[in-house]
Structure 1
Amino acid sequence: MSDGVVDLTGAPQHTGFGEGTGEAAEDTSGDFFASLGKAAQGLPIVSHGFNIDKICHTAGEPLDRLFDGDASMDDLLVLAQQVVAIEQELIAFIEERLAFRTGQVDLGYLTGALTKLGLDFLLGVCQPFQDAVGFILGNPERIKVSSAMWSTAKDSLGTVNEHLGSTTVDRLAPNWSGLARDAAVQRLGELQGAVQTAAGLSFLISTLMDLTSGFAEALNNRAKSFVADLLSGLVNALLFLLSPDPFVKVDAILGAVLMIVKLTLEAVNLALQAARMYLAASALLDALAAQFTETVALLDAMSADPC
Structure 2
Amino acid sequence: MSDNQKGEVVDFSDAPKSSVYGRNADGGFINDPFGNGKKALEGNIPFYAQIKGGFDAVDKAFNPPQSYFKGEWWETLLNSIQALADLGVQIVDAFDYAKAALSFDPADIIGALAAAVCKGLLDFLWSSFQPLQDAAGVLLGNPGKIQNSAAMWGAVSENLTSLYDALGTDLGKTLTECWDSEAGCAAAVRGGDLLDTADFASQSADGLKDLLNIYADMAERINDTVRQAIADLVSFVINRAIGIAMKGPAEVIMAGIDIAILVVRYTLRFIGIAIQEAWFIIAGKQLLNTIKDCFEQAMEVLEKLAGYNTTVRV
* Band the TM-score falls in, shorter-chain normalisation: 0.7 to 0.9
> Which residue is equivalent to 2:151?
148
> Which residue is equivalent to 1:129?
132
> Which residue is equivalent to 1:16?
20
Q: Distance in 2 between matches of 1:300 and 1:169?
A: 19
Asked if the contact 1:168–1:185 (Cα under 8 Å) also holds between the matched residues in 2, the reply is yes
Counterpart of 1:207 (choices 186, 205, 210) is 210
Map Cα deviations across residues 23-49 of structure 1 (whole Å, 9 max, x no partner).
xxxx99443322210101222112123
Asked if the contact 1:74–1:276 (Cα under 8 Å) also holds between the matched residues in 2, the reply is no
Unaligned runs of 5+ in 2: 65-69
Q: Distance in 2 between matches of 1:3 and 1:144?
A: 33
Return closer, same or farther for 1:129/1:61 CA change in 2, 3 Å cut-off.
Answer: closer
Return closer, same or farther for 1:2/1:275 CA change in 2, 3 Å cut-off.
Answer: farther
How far off its partner does 1:124 sit? 2.3
How far off its partner does 1:209 sit? 0.4
Map Cα deviations across residues 189-225 of structure 1 (whole Å, 9 max, x no partner).
0111011000001111000000000110011011101
Counterpart of 1:58 (choices 53, 57, 60) is 60
Deviates more, 1:295-304 or 1:258-267: 295-304
Q: Distance in 2 between matches of 1:200 and 1:10?
A: 17
Q: Distance in 1 between matches of 2:143 and 2:301?
A: 39
> Which residue is equivalent to 1:271?
274
> Which residue is equivalent to 2:290?
287
Asked if the contact 2:61–2:82 (Cα under 8 Å) also holds between the matched residues in 1, the reply is no
Percent identity, aligned pairs only? 24
Give aligned pairs, total: 297
Asked if the contact 2:140–2:223 (Cα under 8 Å) also holds between the matched residues in 1, the reply is yes
The Cα RMSD (Å) is: 2.8
Q: Distance in 1 between matches of 2:49 and 2:9?
A: 40
Q: Distance in 2 between matches of 1:46 and 1:29?
A: 27
- 3-state SS of the aligned residue for 1:7? coil
Asked if the contact 1:19–1:128 (Cα under 8 Å) also holds between the matched residues in 2, the reply is yes
Asked if the contact 2:57–2:86 (Cα under 8 Å) also holds between the matched residues in 1, the reply is yes
How far off its partner does 1:125 sit? 2.0
Deviates more, 1:214-223 or 1:160-169: 160-169
Alignment of 1:228-267 (within 5 A): 228-244=231-247, 248-267=251-270
- 3-state SS of the aligned residue for 2:195? helix
- 1:47 maps to a residue whose letter is A
Q: Distance in 1 between matches of 2:277 and 2:219?
A: 10
Asked if the contact 1:157–1:195 (Cα under 8 Å) also holds between the matched residues in 2, the reply is yes
Q: Distance in 2 between matches of 1:70 and 1:30?
A: 38
Return closer, same or farther for 1:13/1:170 CA change in 2, 3 Å cut-off.
Answer: farther
Map Cα deviations across residues 114-161 of structure 1 (whole Å, 9 max, x no partner).
111110111222122112211221111111111111110000101111
Map Cα deviations across residues 67-119 of structure 1 (whole Å, 9 max, x no partner).
xx933433321121001011111101110101111445522222222111110
Is structure 2 residue 89 aligned with structure 1 residue 91? Answer: no
Unaligned runs of 5+ in 1: 63-68
- 2:32 maps to a residue whose letter is D
TM-score under structure 2 normalisation? Answer: 0.84
Return closer, same or farther for 1:177/1:33 CA change in 2, 3 Å cut-off.
Answer: same
